């Protein structure tokens, strides 16, 4: 069974952390992953930097730009992660845009992910219809879960289609804005969370965007299996360095 599915079966709320590979420094990637696991994080999303990250807010864009300046590429990331499963057991997901995967070759990319022990991919600009028709068999061949995003504007029909082609979790974007652009959740978001929970989808939901502390983590996980923190973690890394990871995670849990 895929590590993501195993983790989702545990009787706990999932804390997932996102960071941009190659930031703050090019060779911090493995250390950050190892320290996150030691600190009690359940799952990690490793951002593959891209020059035109449409869904990302200014904090993640800045870290992605810095990572590219530092020399991060798809191949560099794969080289950095080649021995990651010797030290890390929790699920690892690569989040990135489709263009670098196309350039690398979709099958080659998936094969490399499988070789190094990546469990899933999040590709915000790969439409679910295109995935289902053209790439699903390739992802499944290499044991990779593809995670799709839904927003408050996604129709119930679309959500049910996404649920039907998914086999892991659904990434529930808390609002229609870019990452890192809000603080706390109001009644509009809570009603959206409740609406999705009441749909009784087969895949659990993990909420992202706008989660930055213990309060918002607890608020989000009232309605979902877990929550993802990205911008707040990257800000902490930028300001306080890799050595601050344990304290950051400890303040969430």
Identified catalytic residue from 37, 42, 45, 119: 45
Asked if 56 is an active-site residue, the reply is yes
228: number of Cβ within 10 Å: 27
Count of residues for the chain?
253
186: number of Cβ within 10 Å: 9
How many CA within 13 A on the CB side of residue 145? 25
- H/E element, 236: helix 231-240
Identified catalytic residue from 35, 37, 42, 56: 56
Asked if 52 is an active-site residue, the reply is no
The pair of three-digit structure tokens given for residue 80, joined into one six-digit string: 């950095």
With CA atoms as reference, report the closest residue to 100 among 56, 68, 131.
68
Cβ-contact 249, 227 below 8 angstroms: no
Known catalytic residues are: 45, 56
């Amino acid at each position: 069974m895929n590590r993501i599915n195993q983790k989702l079966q545990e009787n706990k709320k999932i804390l997932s952390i996102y960071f941009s590979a190659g930031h703050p420094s090019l060779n911090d990637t493995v250390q950050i992953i190892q320290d996150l696991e030691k600190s009690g994080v359940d799952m990690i999303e490793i951002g593959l930097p891209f020059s035109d990250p449409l869904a990302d807010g200014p904090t993640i864009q800045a870290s992605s730009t810095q990572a590219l300046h530092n020399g991060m590429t798809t191949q560099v990331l794969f080289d950095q992660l080649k021995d990651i499963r010797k030290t890390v057991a929790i699920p690892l997901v690569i989040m990135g845009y489709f263009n670098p995967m196309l350039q690398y070759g979709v099958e080659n990319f998936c094969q490399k992910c499988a070789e190094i022990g990546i469990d899933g991919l999040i590709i915000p600009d790969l439409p679910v219809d295109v995935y289902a028709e053209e790439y699903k068999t390739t992802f499944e061949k290499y044991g990779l879960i593809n995670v799709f995003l839904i927003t408050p504007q996604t129709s119930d029909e679309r959500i049910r289609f996404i649920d039907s082609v998914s086999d892991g979790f659904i990434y529930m974007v808390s609002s229609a804005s870019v990452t890192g652009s809000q603080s706390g959740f109001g009644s509009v978001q809570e009603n959206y969370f409740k609406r999705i929970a009441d749909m009784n989808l087969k895949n659990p939901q993990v909420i992202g965007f706008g989660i930055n502390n213990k309060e918002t983590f607890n608020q989000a996980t009232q309605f979902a299996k877990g929550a993802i923190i990205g911008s707040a973690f990257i800000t902490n890394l930028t300001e306080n360095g890799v050595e601050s990871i344990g304290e950051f995670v400890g303040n969430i849990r």
